[in-house]
Amino acid sequence: MQDNERKRRDEIYSIAIKAGKRTYFFDVKETRRGDYYLTLTESKKVFDREGNFRYEKHKIFLYKEDFDKFSEALSNSISYIKENAPEVDFDESASFKRQEKTEQEKDTSDFSDVKFEDLDSDKEKEE
């Protein structure tokens, strides 16, 4: 089978949802037997100590025999959270800004406030 034909057969439908540093992909694919299934992928950009980044991905494969159970459990879980969670402003941009600010605080916490003038005066004291 040619790659283009296989790619067309495998990828039926796709939608991406951006949520802060994460992106969620909902991809409908087709098996060799012609059955459809869903892959849910969470992709998150992560940085190492040197500042290099990579994407960390987690996948869930959901087959048609489990759609109803999964959908019901997801719906019930979301309803529970909406009814029972403390009141929180779920404004996406505010949430992202809070997360971004926290990460900036972590990045700068390793530095102290040093003035170059202070270094020169210490050197003069030693001489």
> pLDDT (tens digit, 9 = 90+) per residue, 31-42?
888 899 999 999
As given in the structure block, the two tokens for residue 44 are 């998150």
Instruction: Catalogue the long-range contacts made by 100-106 (C-beta closer than 8 Å, 24 or more residues apart).
Output: none
Strand, coil or helix: what is 31? Answer: coil
What is the pLDDT, as a whole number, of residue 98?
A: 55
Q: How confident is the model at residue 26 (pLDDT cuts 50, 70, 90)?
A: very high
Region 3-90: CATH code: 3.10.450.700
> How many residues are there in the chain?
127
> pLDDT (tens digit, 9 = 90+) per residue, 54-70?
889 999 999 999 999 99
**Can you tell me the distance from the alpha carbon of 14 to that of 25, in angstroms, rounded to the nearest whole number?**
7
This prediction has a pTM of: 0.58
Average pLDDT on 74-82 reads 94
Whether the CA torsion 36, 42, 48, 50 is positive or negative: it is: positive
Q: Which residue has the tokens 């980044």?
A: 53
As given in the structure block, the two tokens for residue 35 are 């059955």
